[in-house]
Amino acid sequence: MKYLLSIFIILNIFSESVWADDESPNFELGLGGGLLNSEALFNLDVVLNIPLTDVYSTQVLLNSNYLMTGHSEDSFAQSELASNWFARNEYGRLGVGIGISELKPKDDNKETDRSVVGRAMADAFWDAVTLTGNYTSYDSTLNNLSSTRVGMSYYLNDDQRISVYRERYNDESAWRLETYYQPEKYRQLASLGIIVRSGEDNDYLGVVARYYFDTAVSLKERERRYH
């Protein structure tokens, strides 16, 4: 993970000197934490978004999640390294991706489970509204990773949104409500999100902070351009 993080930082520094601002790759670092029922769940996201043309772009994603129960027998980490590809215009975006998911128990006596993951993504843009539908072929996931997601985001302004999704994972359905805010004070290079998820057996409440290694871009434009 440290090796991959170093590569992404080098690529970001290199991109700033090679590409123009409106065509340069966008590097993101996200840190989050919360409670899955009464247990601690932490996550680290590293994302490199690379525009190829005005229509096509690609993305490298490293997503790591850690469930800390206080007992090694049921604590574990789940990580995914994926490559996603998008086609986009002013009305929406379509994407496909492939990656490798790893589920590693803290108990060394248990085996690590690895699998290939496929992903399909679709978004429709209409003024302040974004409609979203995603599918990922997870066999087993943590609470904040879903196999399917359908929902809507509404931008209160260019730097604040609220979203509601219907998700399904591990044969369980849940509602997810989240809100993100990106202040202009710090050149629009950081955002803070709050996530509430209500499931049949698992509830989640958490926060996530993201930092963007690029120029000042509104949250609305950033998410429609890169995510």
Reported confidence tier of residue 75, pLDDT bands at 50, 70, 90: confident
Which amino acid is it at 119? R
CATH no. for residue 24? 2.40.160.160
Which of 78-87, 104-113, 122-131, 151-160 has the weakest average pLDDT? 104-113
Nearest to 220 by CA among 151, 175, 162, 134: 162
Kindly state the tokens that stand for 49: 């978004």
Query: 63: how many CB neighbours lie within 10 A of its CB?
Result: 19
Write out the residue range of the structural domain in which residue 19 sits.
Answer: 2-226
pLDDT, tens digit, 9 for 90 and up, residues 127-161: 999 999 998 887 655 555 567 899 999 999 999 99
Higher pLDDT, 106 or 118: 118
Residues making up the chain, counted from first to last: 227
Q: For 97-102, what is the mean pLDDT?
A: 90
Which of 36-40, 69-73, 79-83, 167-171 has the weakest average pLDDT? 69-73
pLDDT, tens digit, 9 for 90 and up, residues 180-215: 999 987 778 899 999 999 877 778 999 999 998 877
Q: Residue 22: its pLDDT value, please? A: 52
pLDDT, tens digit, 9 for 90 and up, residues 30-67: 999 999 888 899 999 999 999 898 899 999 999 998 88
What is the sign of the dihedral through the CA atoms of 157, 160, 163 and 169? positive
Strands (E), the chain: 26-36, 39-51, 56-68, 76-89, 92-105, 113-126, 129-136, 148-157, 160-169, 172-181, 190-199, 203-213
Mean of all residue pLDDT scores within the chain: 83
- pLDDT reading at 15 higher than 60: no
DSSP 30: E
Q: Residue 24: its pLDDT value, please? A: 66
Kindly state the tokens that stand for 132: 């979203």
Number of separate domains in the chain: 1
Contacts of 150 (CB under 8 A, 6+ apart): 132, 133, 134, 165, 166
